[in-house]
Amino acid sequence: MAIIVDNDTRLCVQGLTGSEGRFHGLHNRAYGTNVVAGVTPGKGGQDVEGIPVFDTVAAAVEEASANTSLIFVPARFAADAVYEAIDAGIGTVICITEHIPVHEMLRAYTYFRPKGVTMIGPNCPGVLSPGKANVGIIPAEIFSEGAVGLVSRSGTLTYQIGHELTQLGLGNSTIVGIGGDPIVGSSFIDVLEKFQADPETELVVLVGEIGGDEEEKAAQYISEHMTKPVLAYIAGFSAPPGKAMGHAGAIISGSSGTAAAKKAALEAKGIEVGATPTEVAQLVAARCK
């Protein structure tokens, strides 16, 4: 089955005619993702290497049966692109764009959450279900099919751990980069719930980082609701105290949000935390023997 994207994904790329949208949209198609449309206002009727371009998402839904949107729209227009996709009936929205103002994402969040839309991002690498679909900028060639679900706030650490797993002969059911902004469409808990319900996922790796309290919330959820084993890695043990680091969401207040505090919260709920990405992969391999 996998989660969020699969063989039934019919992808519309908002911003397909731009350089980034074109590059990654075509890369996703080359992987095997069913890219059925692009959307750029004013460029309807054109095509990008055979992918039809429409003026609106509504037209892409009506004429190409798009059910998933990938957003490569500049930050000042990205929130409106999210609204447009949702209003057109798109059920899964994956927003790669970074630098969207927090207040705009807050308004968008309160709009789409009651509608039951699955939103990933913004400021994220996207979602990959190996062998089925790649929606975003994840380098799919370093991942393989398998039973390990991976959810992460960090893009590059996601790639590293996935590659470590592949080298150990293990694969992934789905890789989800939820994004590193203060407000994102899906939390760790949202994705963990999907992995718990997915019969193809046997074990989950959670990759967190300093700032916020999402990992602490996830630890509580895992202890109460997850029957599948969960392992974790937290980035940021070397972060200098008081220095802004990495993503916009990586903000520490006092001792809250530190890597040590997150590791302690996870371990208090019986969740093993690897010291390095390599160790996490080795812990997964030990569990999968």
Measure the N-to-C terminal CA separation of the chain; round to a whole number of Å: 23
d(CA 122, CA 98): 6
* Residues 6 or more apart whose Cβ sits within 8 Å of residue 179: 95, 120, 121, 122, 123, 124, 153, 185
Could you say which of 27, 99, 225, 247 is catalytic? 247
Q: Torsions phi, psi of 210, nearest 5?
A: -60, 155
Contact of 70 with 136, CB cutoff 8 Å: yes
Contact 66, 10 (CB under 8 A): yes
Task: Specify the 3-state DSSP secondary structure of 142.
Answer: helix
**Residue 247 falls in the annotated catalytic set:** yes
Neighbour count for residue 225 (Cβ, 10 Å)? 11
CA distances (Å), origin 214, targets 3, 140, 153, 265, 286 = 21, 26, 10, 11, 27
Report, as residue numbers or ranges, the catalytic residues: 247
